Structure 1
Amino acid sequence: MGSSIYYYPLGSNPPHPNWRTTMAAEPAALPSLLQPVRKRLALAVLCQAVAALLNIAPFVAVAELARVLLADGSPDHDRAWTVTAVAGACLLARLLFLLAASVVSHLAENDLQLSVRRLLIGRLDRVPLGWFSGRGGGAVKKAVQDDVHALHHLVAHSLLELTSAVIVPLSTLAYLFWVDWRLALITMIPLVLGIGLFGRTGAAFKKNLPALDAAMTDINGAAVEFVQGIAVVKTFGQTRRAHRRYTDAADRFASFFRGWVDSLAAPRALSEIVLSAPVMLFTVLLGGTALITAGRTAPEDLVPFALLGVGITTPVLTISFAEEEVRAAKAAADRIGEVLATPALPVPERPATAGSGAVTFEAVGFSYDGEHRVLEGVDLTLAPGTTTALVGPSGSGKSTLASLLPRFWDPDEGTIRVGGTDLRDIAPEEVYGRMSFVFQEVRLLRDTVRANLLIARPDATDEELRDAARRARIHDRVTELPRGYDSVVGEDARFSGGEAQRLSIARAMLADAPVLVLDEATAYADPESEAAVQDALSELTRGRTLMVIAHRLSTVKDADQIVVLDAGRVAERGTHDELLALNGTYAGMWRAHEHSTVWRPGSPDESDAVRPAVEPAAPSAVEEAVR
C-alpha cells in the first residue's frame, strides 16, 4: 500500500504522464493490519502467559502442602510456610501481570482502531466518487465501523483468552507428568476423547453454515418483502397470500434448523459430558485408586490430580469461542483489505489550472468492468454559457457520460478537457470547485439546515446563505421551522422531495461553480413544488455551462444543443428543430412524448383537450419503446 506506481484498468490507455497514482494493494491479511501493534501484542501475550502460569501456583502449593503434611514422620513446618508464602506471592504477581496484559492490549487495540480507521477514511477520500454508487452506505459503514470493531475483540480479549486457554492445560499437564506420568496419562483419556468429539461437532457445524446463511436470507427476504409491500398487498386484498409466503419461509427455516440442531445435539452433549468436571474427577479417582492399591504411586500423589486434573478440560470451550472470534476478525480484516485495495483516483503531481473555455469530450470511451463498453468514441463540446441536454433510451450512457465530467470516474479512452486543460491534470479540489451537481435524489445530512447548505462553501456568510436560499425559493420554508436554519434535518426539519431539491439547488448556488450538471431535478417534485424548483433552476443556471440529463423531453426542447445517445454512442446532435427535421431517433421520441401528453376526448375530464406538461407515468418506458 502506498507505493507510487501506475494503476489503470484492464484494457485502458497507459496512465497520463502527469498522474500520481496509488496501486491497489492485495487484500490485507490479518497479520498485515496488526503489524503496527505487533510488539505490544507480543508483550501483552507474554504477560498473559506468565499470569496463566502463576494461575496454577496456588493449586500446586496446596498439592505440595499435602505432600509435606501427609509425608511419613514429622511435618516439615519450614517447607510448609515457604510453600504458602510462594503461593501468596504468585497470586499477587498474577494480578499485576493480568493488569499489565489488559492495559497493554487495550492501548494497542485503541491505536489499531485509530490507525485502521485513518487508513480507511484516507482511502475512501481518494477513491473515485463513482465507487460509492455501487455500494450502499451500509457496506461502507460495515467496513469502517463494524469490521474495525471486530478487531477489538481479537486484540483486547480473544488473544489473551486463547493464550490462557493454551498455557494453563499445558503447564498443568507438565506438572502432573512430573508428579506421576502413569496417572497423568490416565487423566488425559477424557481430554483426548472430548476434543475428538468436539472437533467432529465443530466440523459438522461449519459444513452447514452456508445452508444456515441461505435459510436466514430466505426468511429475512420474505420478512422485508412483507413489511415493505404491506400497503400494496392490503390495497389489492392479498394480505393472506403475502402472509402465507412469510410463514412458509419461516416453516422452512424452522424445519432446517430443527434438523441441524438434532444432528449436532447428541455429539455435542456427549463431548460436554466427557469433558465435564465430574467425569474427569471420576477418571482421576478411578485411575489413582488402581495405581495406589497396586503400589505404583503414593497416596499423597493423588491430591494434585484431584485438584488440577478436573480443570484441564475447562479451556477447551474457551478455545472454541476464541477460534470463532479469530475467524470473524480474519474475515473482517479481509473486507477491510478489499476497501484499502480500491485504486485511488489518480492525482496530478503538478496540477494545472483550467482555463475559462469550452468543456470538450474527445473520443471518450468507458467501461465499468473492462469488458462491456458503456461509452464509445464520444465527441462533444459544451460551449461556455450554453445548455447541452443528453437524451436517449434507458441504458444509453447518459448518466455515465455526465458522471465523467466531475471525475466520478476517469475515461478508459480519450480525453475530457476544461478550457483546453486535461481534466486529469487539474487538482481534484479545483475540479469540484468548478463543477456543481443537482441530482434527482437529494442527500441531506442529519445536521442543521445551515450545515447542509454550507457544505458547498463553508466560508459563506449568513447573508450569502440566506440569499442563496431565497433565490432557490426555500428561504420562507426554512424560516417556518422551529429553529430556522438551525433546525436539524430528520428531527425538527422534514422536507418534501421538492423542498429537498430546492435545498440542493441553494447549495449549488452557494458553490457558484461555472459548470453545472443536472439530472432531471424536477423528477420527484409534485406539481406545486415543480414550479418552484423550475424557478430556482432558472436562477441557478443563468450564465453557466449546463449539462442536463433529460428524462422528459419537454424540459429541454429549448436547449442550445441536444445530444441523442444510443448504445453509448452519439446518434444525433443539434437543436430541437434541427433534430425534428432529421426525422430520426429524436423525432420519434418527440412524437411518442407528444402522444403521451394528449388528453383525448372521452376522458374523465374533457374540458382540457390537451394538458400541457402532463408527463407519462414511466417516461423511460416510452423512450425504450421508441428505441
Structure 2
Amino acid sequence: MSGERMAGGTDAKRLRTSAQGLRRDTGSEQAPAQLTVVEVFGRLLGPRRNHLMGVLLLGVCGVALSVAGPVFLGKATDQVFAGMLSQRFPPGSTRREMLEELRANGDTTMLAIVNRVDVVPGQGIDFSRVTHYLVIALVLYAVAAVLLLLQGRLITTMAQRVVTELREQVEDKLAHLPLRYFDGRPRGEVISRVTNDIGAIAIGLELAQPVTAAMTVAGSLLMMFYISPLLTLVLVVTVPVLLLLSGRLARRSQVQAAERMTRTGLLFAHVEEQYTGHRTTWLFGRQDEDDASFVEHNDALYESSVGAVLISGMIRPLSMFVTSLNYVLIAVIGVLLVTSGGISLGGVQAFLQYSAQFNRPIGQIGEIIQRTQAGVASSRRVFDLLDEPEQPADPARPTRLETVCGHVEFRYVSFRYRPDTPVLENLSLTVHPGQTVAVVGPTGAGKTTLVNLLLRFYEPDSGRITLDGADIAGMNRAELRARIGMVLQDVWLFDGTIADNIAYGNPDAAFDEIVEAARAAHVDTFVRALPEGYHTVLGDDDVISAGEKQLITVARAFLARPAILVLDEATSAVDTRTEAHIQKAMHTLRAGRTSFVIAHRLSTIRDADLILVMESGRVVEQGDHETLMRTAGPYARMYAAQFGTPESGGAEEPYGDAAATAKG
C-alpha cells in the first residue's frame, strides 16, 4: 500500500523547510544535522512574518503597560508614607520650617527621607491621590492583561496552524517518497515522526511565554536603571554568570533532547511491531525475549529522558538561588539608600517589583529551554524526513494511452536494491496482449522486483519497460497504476465495511456491481452468513478468516476491471478446495487481460501461456508447462520436487542457489 499512496503529481504546495545536508542512508539511524534554534524557528515561522509582527506589537504594548504599573504603585506608597510623616509636624507650618527643624535637631536620617517625598506638615494621608494612583495602576494592569491574552491567543493559533500545515506537508511528502524509503525503516519510527515529533514541535512553538519573558526582562531592566543605577548594577552583576552556566547546560540539554526523540521513535517502532505481530510472538514463545527487548528500549529512553530533564532542571535551582541572593542584596542596600536619601521608599518597593518581574523569567529559563530544545530536536527529525529525495517527478507532458491492450516488454532491464547486490541483470522479456505469464523461481530471484518495476514502485537502473510501445517512464504513475490491478500475498484491508473494501479500487461502483464481483470471487457465500452482511465492519476483531480476507482482495481486483492483472501468491492463504474455485474465478478474471502470476504453487500456473523461470535476476528458462516439462530443466526439477514425481528421486534441490540478499 505504500506504493499506492504515492500516486499523483509533485506540484502540491509543500513547506520547504528542508535543511541542507540532511540526508539519511536507507536503514541507518543517524543524528540529524545540528540546526540552530534560530534556523529552526526561522524555517517554521518565516512564512508568517505578519503574525509575528502582531505578536511582537501586542507583546511590546502589554509589557510596557505592565512595566508602568509599579511606578504608580510606588507613587501610592510614597503618598501614604508622606502622609504618615506629615502627622509628626504641626498643621500650618511650611515645608521649609519642617526641614529647618529637622536640621536643627540633627536628625539627618529623617531629613534625607523627607527630602525624597512630598510631605505637607499636618496634612495626613491624601487618600484621593492614593486612590488616583491605584486606579491608574489597576487600569494599566487590566489593559496589559488583555493585550497579553490576545498575544497568547494569536501565537497559539499561529503555532497550531503551522503544525497543522506541517502535518499536511509531511503527509504529502510521504505520498511522494519512493518505496525504498519505507522498505528501509520500521513503520513505527516513521509514525513517531508524524505524531510524537510534530506534537513536540507544537509545544515548542508556544512562544508566548519566552517572547513575553524577554520583553519583560528588557522593560524591567530599563525601569530599574531609571529608578536606581546602583541597585540595577547589584542585580545584573550575577546575571552573566547565570546566563553562561545556563547556556552550557542548554547545549547539553539539546543533545539529550535529540537523543530522547530518537529513542522515542525506536521504542514506538518496537511497540508497533510487537503489537502487529503478537500472534507470532505467542506462537514461538518469544514473549520473554520481546519483553527483554522492550525493557532495553525503554531503559534507553529512560536514560536519555532523565538526562535531558536533569540537565535542564539544574537551571531552575541555580536561577532561584541567584534570584534569592539578588532579592536580599536589593532589600539591604535599598534600606541603606532610603535612610541616606538616595531613593524613596516607594522607589524601593517599585524596584523590588521590577526585580521580581526581571527574575521570574530567569527562574523559568529551565522550563523554556526544555520545551524549546524538545521542539528543536523534533523539528530536526521532521526536517530530515522532508529533506528525503522524492521519487522522480512525472513528466510535464506524460504519455497517455486511451486504451491499453496489454503488450508489455522489458528491454535489457537491470536493477539493484544495493550497489553490490544485483537483482535483475539485462532482463529482456516480451508479453503479448491477453497472455498469462507465470513467474517462478527461488526466493530472491527477482520475481516481485519485476512487478515492482512494472508498477514503477522502483525505477530501473538501466533499460526500458514499455506498455503498448510507450515507455512507462514517460507516463503518469497514477494513470499507469490505474490500469494495473494487483492481488498481493500480504492482505491489506482497512477498517470499514466489506462493501467499502471491495469497492476500494472502484469507489463509484453500484452495490449490484460489488455483489457481482463478490460472487465471482466466491466471497458472497460467507458474507451472506454474517449478521451485517456486506455492511460488516472489518477491524481487529477477526470476524473473518485470513483466507476470506484474501478472497475480498480478489473481489476488489474483479471490480477494478484492470487492463493488466498481477497476482502475487494470491491464493497462498486459502485451502485447496477454495483454491480450485479461485483458479476458476481467476481464469474468468484473466480473460482478455495480460496477467502476471507470481507463484510457488506450480499447480496454480499449469495453464499459463508463458512460464518464466528466474534465478539470480535472470530468466533461465521459459515456455509453457508441457514444453518445460519435456526439456527436463530447472522447472521440471522444481515440479518433480514439489509433487514428488519420480524425476525428483527425493534428492533434487527445488530452488537452486537463491540470491538470499536480494529482494524477490
TM-score, reference length from structure 2: 0.75
Please list, as runs of the form range in 1=range in 2, the aligned pairs for 1:154-169 lying within 5 A after superposition.
154-155=204-205, 158-169=206-217
- C-alpha displacement at 1:274, in angstroms? 0.6
Contact kept in structure 1, 2:440 and 2:447, CA below 8 Å: yes
Q: Which has the larger radius of gyration?
A: 2
- Give the letter aligned to residue 186 of structure 1: V
Aligned twin of 1:90: 140
Q: Distance in 2 between matches of 1:138 and 1:220?
A: 5
SS in 1 for 2:595: strand
Which of 310, 327, 333 is the aligned partner of 1:287? Answer: 333
Specify whether residues 435 and 136 from structure 1 end up closer, same or farther in structure 2 by C-alpha distance, changes over 3 A only: farther
Post-superposition CA distance 1:502-546 (Å, at most 9, x none)? 110101000111211111112233455544544443333333211
Please list, as runs of the form range in 1=range in 2, the aligned pairs for 1:101-120 lying within 5 A after superposition.
101-120=151-170
Aligned twin of 1:301: 347
Please list, as runs of the form range in 1=range in 2, the aligned pairs for 1:494-573 lying within 5 A after superposition.
494-527=543-576, 529-573=578-622
Which of 310, 323, 343 is the aligned partner of 2:390? Answer: 343
Aligned twin of 1:34: 45
Q: Distance in 2 between matches of 1:291 and 1:452?
A: 82
Q: Distance in 2 between matches of 1:357 and 1:599?
A: 37
Which range is displaced more, 582-591 or 422-431?
582-591
What is the RMSD computed on CA atoms of the aligned residues?
4.5
Specify whether residues 446 and 417 from structure 1 end up closer, same or farther in structure 2 by C-alpha distance, changes over 3 A only: same
Please list, as runs of the form range in 1=range in 2, the aligned pairs for 1:209-608 lying within 5 A after superposition.
242=289, 245=292, 249=296, 270-271=317-318, 273-275=320-322, 278-292=324-338, 296-341=342-387, 342-348=389-395, 349-353=397-401, 355-368=404-417, 372-490=421-539, 494-527=543-576, 529-594=578-643
Contact kept in structure 1, 2:197 and 2:381, CA below 8 Å: yes
Q: Distance in 2 between matches of 1:123 and 1:226?
A: 27
- Give the letter aligned to residue 532 of structure 2: R
The question of 1:183 aligning with 2:174 is answered no
Please list, as runs of the form range in 1=range in 2, the aligned pairs for 1:9-48 lying within 5 A after superposition.
27=18, 30-48=41-59
Kindly tell me the number of residue pairs found equivalent between the two proteins: 589
SS in 2 for 1:50: helix
Specify whether residues 153 and 238 from structure 1 end up closer, same or farther in structure 2 by C-alpha distance, changes over 3 A only: closer
- C-alpha displacement at 1:321, in angstroms? 3.0
Post-superposition CA distance 1:2-33 (Å, at most 9, x none)? xxxxxxxxxxxxxxxxx999999772565344
- Give the letter aligned to residue 321 of structure 2: V
Unmatched runs of 5 consecutive residues or more in structure 2: 1-8, 20-39, 82-116
Post-superposition CA distance 1:50-79 (Å, at most 9, x none)? 223323333332123223443241378776
SS in 2 for 1:394: coil
Aligned twin of 1:13: none
Post-superposition CA distance 1:416-459 (Å, at most 9, x none)? 11111222333334322320000011111111222212221122
SS in 1 for 2:505: coil
Q: Distance in 2 between matches of 1:224 and 1:120?
A: 20
Specify whether residues 124 and 230 from structure 1 end up closer, same or farther in structure 2 by C-alpha distance, changes over 3 A only: closer
Which range is displaced more, 399-408 or 436-445?
399-408
Which range is displaced more, 293-302 or 22-31?
22-31
Contact kept in structure 2, 1:357 and 1:420, CA below 8 Å: no
Q: Distance in 2 between matches of 1:110 and 1:260?
A: 29
Which of 50, 67, 70 is the aligned partner of 2:78? Answer: 67
Specify whether residues 34 and 585 from structure 1 end up closer, same or farther in structure 2 by C-alpha distance, changes over 3 A only: farther
Specify whether residues 519 and 154 from structure 1 end up closer, same or farther in structure 2 by C-alpha distance, changes over 3 A only: same
Unmatched runs of 5 consecutive residues or more in structure 1: 1-18, 601-609, 611-615
- Give the letter aligned to residue 36 of structure 1: P
- C-alpha displacement at 1:472, in angstroms? 0.6
Q: Distance in 2 between matches of 1:183 and 1:36?
A: 42
Post-superposition CA distance 1:142-188 (Å, at most 9, x none)? 45555444443344xx2211111111122112111111111122223
Post-superposition CA distance 1:480-523 (Å, at most 9, x none)? 22322222111777322111111101010001112111111122
Which range is displaced more, 312-321 or 245-254?
245-254
Specify whether residues 532 and 172 from structure 1 end up closer, same or farther in structure 2 by C-alpha distance, changes over 3 A only: farther
- Give the letter aligned to residue 566 of structure 1: E
Q: Distance in 1 between matches of 2:357 and 2:416?
A: 62
Q: Distance in 2 between matches of 1:111 and 1:247?
A: 35
- C-alpha displacement at 1:218, in angstroms? 9.3
SS in 2 for 1:453: helix
